[in-house]
Structures are given as structure tokens and as C-alpha cells.
Amino acid sequence: MSGESLVAVLVLLPVATAAASLAIKDERLRRLLIILPSGALIAASVLLLVQVLENGPLTFTPSGHWDSLILIIELVLLAYFVYVGVVRKHLLVLGLGATQLVLFALFKFAWLPSGFKVQPAFHIDLLAVIMCLVISVTGSLIVMYALNYMQSHERHLKLGATRQHVFFFFLVGFLGAMNGVVFANSLLWFFLFWELTTLCCYHLIRHDLTEEAEQSGLRALWMNLVGGLALVAGMSLAYQASGSLSLLDLTGFGTVAPVMLLPLALFCFAGFTKAAQVPFQSWLLGAMVAPTPVSALLHSSTMVKAGVYLVLRLAPGYEGTYLSAGIAVFGAFVFMITSVLAISQNVSKRVLAYSTISSLGLIICCAGINTGLAIAAAIALIIYHAVVKGVLFLAVGIMEQSIHSRDIEDMEGLVTRLPALAGMAIIGMVVMLFVPFGVLFAKWAALQAAAAAPTVWFSLVVAFLVIGSAAGIVFWVRWIGRLMSHTAAGAGAPEAAPPEAEPRGSLSYLVVAGLLAGGVVLSVLAAPLVSYLINPAGAAMGYSPALDTAGWHLKTSFGFFTPWVLFVVIGAALLLPALLVRVRTEDIRPVYLCGEHQASSAGGPVFTSLGDQAVLLATGGFYWSRVFGERSLNVWVNGAGIALLAALFVGVIV
């Protein structure tokens, strides 16, 4: 298949599938209709990778009246946002939508010469293909998971008429819009796909139509419209300064004139809103009211990744400028502060949301550091984060349906209740957190890049990075600890999980296991991944490859490690004891309770407390919310975020 038709498949097939799923009411048929194109999508993205690896970047403009069609859809879409503002009586949405519509119409019809075309419409380099792989593979797997999930979700909600067809319309369509975002070179086309992701996101968040869901959807909408407005303003300024609306011209490998900095800053700002960076984090936190596949999709492969993609895509354009340093400091700050905020959270999805925002902050920080090593770290982080965050969200989704709670406190001892699922979640968190897995490799590269950065601000960036990564240890380890905590057989024996508690062969379990296996395998193969994909992707953006992978080491100019050796050593250190250690049942003793034991009851160990009352043993997590909580920190966090953004813009303008 030619590159052009692959692109057509990747963008249009999800849209067509989405349209079909809207029309088809029969559940079994829809299942088939969604699973088959998902496979095609994955295959197409792999074929596209092969093409681009062989022939270099794919650059073309589809023939036909696409420009007019896209313009029409764009105007309809913006008008729809205004309509939402009117119907929902939401002034912010109304105002932002109307301003955007008027500005865009003025720009398009009064400013741009009629028949203005951006050549080429698509430019697909390796970075775009990597993004496309992340979107198509992770995204398709999440869609498959959703097939099972939504059935039980609707059963649980006891809906009269199913709304699954609407759900899958937006869920599958999302993938097409995302692929469009990463392929587009023409900013006019890019803008359409960007706004389409906003639209899909809004509808998916409000899917359950509860009051809370509606409010969260509207919040996501207005915050992303702020970004859209920045995009329109950036487009006008970019056109005024350079007469071009092509991303290729805009980045131009570091040869950008100072007048272009403001549009670039506006584009990056749009990226920050989409990536839910401080002070826009609340829309992503609110988005967790949506069914879990939505959260998984928003957090791992789509939506927020569009934001960091834009910042990363533009990185060669602002290399070595004040803007670059400002972005590095801002991203590092977000990385740190959202990790710290996550310590105070006891709701699993909020912990995951904060950790997503924090990882995105790290990616943005890497784009701001803007050296070959930093860009490699950013791309690696995009890949690993997408896979692992997908695993964690999907696992939490199943847990929520089993134990009817998303509170980490209620997940105590899940290793005995849902062993397979808890095991996968624990491994996923370990992959997020510890060496030798991929996320840590990216963090290692980011720290080295920050330490070797040419900007004088690097010391601040490094300080933010080290505090943020220490905070990450706290909330992940504590969560793993809650999952693992159990009493051994003999002392208040935990009932072993009945086999029917976990449908291990079901599609959703297979998806989680498959994604997790992918994350682990990619971590073991970090060196080849860098040498075949990440280094060439950086080189295609104009950066000199900074990671030497000869002999399967990962080597920078300042340090190195060998992932597979670490895997063998650390794996042996943890697995050998797990396999070899034997404990005799008669050596098992009840836990220490100040010597005030009573006999175990059915619910577990009991001890004697005040007034000789028998009290059931209980343990709980500490969340230290007085120190790390949102209530005490949010004012400062948002204030600092706004101040940093203001400093960024003031510096760029002056």
C-alpha cells in the first residue's frame, strides 16, 4: 500500500467505523465492526512505520476539494461549541467559542488570500509515526477493552436504552482525529483535528449525563477552548510574521526569527492546556467521572499526548531561546508539584491523573531543555507512559467494577481477592517507578540532559526534577503497599479468591496483560528501541543523536548503563527469593499487637483495647493531606503556574 493510502486509512477508517457504530444498534455486530478495524489500524500504523523508515519522511497533499471541506467542518464545529454554550448556559464556553469563531472567520476570510493553500498538507516524519503507533496500538486496545467494560457499566447503571453507540462513535472517532493531529503539517488542518479532539473529549466526559459529568465536560471544554483560542491567535501572528502556515516552516530547524517567538509561545500554551498543565489541571482531574476507558484513552494515548506532541514538534523552532528555558522551568515545576499533590490523594483515579500530569510536565520540560538527549528522553517517555498508564487505568477500571470503589483504602489486600489483576497493577506501578524499566530510563536521560543543559536555569530545573521523582516514590509505593497488605493463612486466614471473581480469559484481562507485557518488553529492548526509532526520530527533527547504543548499552557522554544486564540482576534479586524461599505453616505467627491478642474472629485478628473491649485489627494509609493536600497547596500551585506562564509570555514579548 502506498503511504498516502495508509494515511487515509489511519485517519478516515476510525471516522468511518465511528459513523457505522453510531448507526448499528445490534451489539454483536458492533463488536465485530469495532474489533476488525482496530486490527487494520494497528497493521496500517506498522506498515507506515516501515515505509517511513525505508523512504524517509512522507510529504504530500491529497488532491481534491479537501481544503473547502475542512473549512466547512471547522466552521460548523466552532458554531457547535457556541451552541453548546447557549444550550448549557455556560458563559465561558459561549464567550470563548464565539470569540474563536469570529477570530477564525476573520482570519480565514478577511486576512488570508482566497484560495490560500498550505503545501504540503501532511508531513509525516518518524516522530509523527511513533505518535501514530502509540495512538493506534494503545488506543485500539483500549477500545477493545471498552467493549466488555461498557456492557457491565450499563448493566451497573441500569440504563433503559443503551447509549453505547454514541460512546463508541466518539471513542473510535477520537483515534482518527488524533492521527490527523500528528500527521498534519498545514496549521489549518491541524486546527481542525485539534478541535475535533476537544469535541470528542467533551462528549466522552459527559457521557453518563449526570450533573457532575456535565459540569466536568463543560470545564474540559472551556479550558480546551482557551487553548484553541491561543492556536487561532498564534496562527494569525505566524501568518503575519512569516506568510506561512506550515509547521515545517515554523520550526525550520532553529532558524526562527525573534518575531516568531510569540506565535510559538501561543502554540505551546495551547499544548499546555491540552496537556492539563497547571493551572489547567482541573479539567483532567474532573474527567475521571467518565467511564474508565475514556480516562485510559485521554491519559495514555490521546488528548493530553496531543498537547505534549505540539510542544515537542515545535522544539527545534525555539531552540536556544528564552522561550525554551521558560518551558523547561515550567514543565519541571509542574512535574514536581503535581507529584507532591498526588501524595495527598486517596482516590485511585486522582492519583493516576496527577501522575499523568506530572509525566507530561516532564516531557514538556525535556522539550524545553531542547538538546538531543532531552528530546530522546521526551520521546521515550511518551511511549512508555502511554503503555503503562493504559495498563494502570484499565486495571483500576476492573477493580472498580469488582469492589465498587475507587478508593485506595478499599483496595487493601487485593492480592488475595483479585490476585491476577492486583499483580498486573503492581507490576505496572513498578514499571512506572523503578529502574531498570523504561520510564526510569527516560527520567535518567532527562536528569542528565538537565544537568548538562546550556541554560543557566538548569539548577532550578534539576532541583524540581529530583524532588518530583522522590514524591513519586511515596505515592506509588504506598499504593502498592495497600494492594499487598494481607494476613497469612492461619491467622485470620484470608479467603482465597474464587475463580469466578476474575474472568482471566476475558477480553479486558487480555488487553491489560498484553499492554503490560508490551511495556516490559519495550523496557528490556530499550537499547534497540532507541537506536531504531528514538535516535532517528530526533535526528529527523534536526538533533544530533545523544545516546550511543552500541553493544546494547545506553550510553550518553556522561554515563551509561546496560538495561538487559540490570534486568537480569534485579530480576534475579527479586525472583529467586520469590521462587526459592520456603516457609513452614507452623512457623507463621499472628502480627504483633502489643501482646493484647485475642483469638482470631471470622473478620481477622482481634485485640483487647480500652475497657477490655475486643477490637478488630485495622490498618490504613497515611495521606498527610494537611501538608500536601489540595486545600493547603492549590492556591500556591495555581498562582505559581500562572506566574510562570506570565513570565514566559512577558519575556517572549519583551
Minimum separation from the CB atom of position 628 to another protein (A): 10
User: How many other CB atoms sit within 10 Å of the CB of residue 143?
Assistant: 25
Closer residue to another protein, CB minimum distance, 211 or 587: 587
Closer residue to another protein, CB minimum distance, 112 or 447: 447
Minimum separation from the CB atom of position 333 to another protein (A): 14
Closer residue to another protein, CB minimum distance, 28 or 589: 589
Grid cell of 516 as nine digits? 503490560
Q: Identify whether the C-beta of residue 49 lies closer than 8 Å to the C-beta of residue 175.
A: no
Closer residue to another protein, CB minimum distance, 86 or 463: 463
Minimum separation from the CB atom of position 179 to another protein (A): 35
- For cell 501568518, what's the residue? 239
Minimum separation from the CB atom of position 352 to another protein (A): 18
Closer residue to another protein, CB minimum distance, 47 or 435: 435
Q: How far apart are CA 460 and CA 456, in angstroms?
A: 9
Minimum separation from the CB atom of position 484 to another protein (A): 5
Closer residue to another protein, CB minimum distance, 163 or 553: 553
Closer residue to another protein, CB minimum distance, 38 or 523: 523
- For cell 521526551, what's the residue? 378
Minimum separation from the CB atom of position 499 to another protein (A): 22
Minimum separation from the CB atom of position 334 to another protein (A): 17
Q: Identify whether the C-beta of residue 360 lies closer than 8 Å to the C-beta of residue 275.
A: yes
At residue 390's C-alpha, the angle toward residues 332 and 25, to 5°, is: 135
Closer residue to another protein, CB minimum distance, 441 or 509: 441
Give the length of the chain: 654
Closer residue to another protein, CB minimum distance, 136 or 448: 448
Minimum separation from the CB atom of position 441 to another protein (A): 9
The helix/strand/coil state of 75 is: helix
Amino acid at 106: L
H or E, element range at 323: helix 322-343
The DSSP letter of residue 115 is: T
Q: Is 259 left (phi over 0), alpha (psi -120 to 50) or beta?
A: alpha
Closer residue to another protein, CB minimum distance, 74 or 412: 412
Closer residue to another protein, CB minimum distance, 84 or 617: 617
The helix/strand/coil state of 558 is: coil
- For cell 522544539, what's the residue? 315
Minimum separation from the CB atom of position 300 to another protein (A): 24
The helix/strand/coil state of 609 is: coil
Closer residue to another protein, CB minimum distance, 211 or 586: 586
Q: How far apart are CA 185 and CA 87, in angstroms?
A: 34
- For cell 488487553, what's the residue? 511
* H runs (alpha helix) in 243-321: 247-251, 261-274, 281-286, 292-300, 304-314
User: How many other CB atoms sit within 10 Å of the CB of residue 242?
Assistant: 17
Q: How far apart are CA 378 and CA 434, in angstroms?
A: 18
Quote the crossing angle between the two packed helices 164-183 and 187-205, to the nearest 10°: 150
Minimum separation from the CB atom of position 396 to another protein (A): 19
Minimum separation from the CB atom of position 469 to another protein (A): 7
Minimum separation from the CB atom of position 444 to another protein (A): 6
Minimum separation from the CB atom of position 84 to another protein (A): 43
Minimum separation from the CB atom of position 489 to another protein (A): 8
Minimum separation from the CB atom of position 307 to another protein (A): 27
Closer residue to another protein, CB minimum distance, 162 or 459: 459
What residue ranges bind another protein (CB under 8 A)? 412-413, 433-435, 440, 444, 447-448, 450-452, 456, 459-460, 462-463, 466-467, 469-471, 473-474, 477-478, 480-482, 484-488, 491, 558-561, 566, 569-570, 572-574, 576-578, 581, 583-584, 587-594, 604, 617-622, 627
Closer residue to another protein, CB minimum distance, 320 or 603: 603
Grid cell of 381 as nine digits? 517517555
Q: Answer whether the bond into residue 498 is a cis peptide, omega within 30°.
A: no
Grid cell of 224 as nine digits? 480546551
Q: How far apart are CA 471 and CA 473, in angstroms?
A: 5
Q: What is the largest CA-CA distance in the chain?
A: 87
Q: How far apart are CA 78 and CA 194, in angstroms?
A: 12
Q: How far apart are CA 94 and CA 635, in angstroms?
A: 27
Grid cell of 137 as nine digits? 496500538
Quote the crossing angle between the two packed helices 458-484 and 348-369, to the nearest 10°: 160
- For cell 503556574, what's the residue? 641
User: How many other CB atoms sit within 10 Å of the CB of residue 574?
Assistant: 11
Q: How far apart are CA 141 and CA 128, in angstroms?
A: 20
Closest to 226 in 3D by CA, of 177, 151, 276:
276
Closer residue to another protein, CB minimum distance, 425 or 566: 566
Q: 122 pairs with which residues across the strands?
A: 60, 184
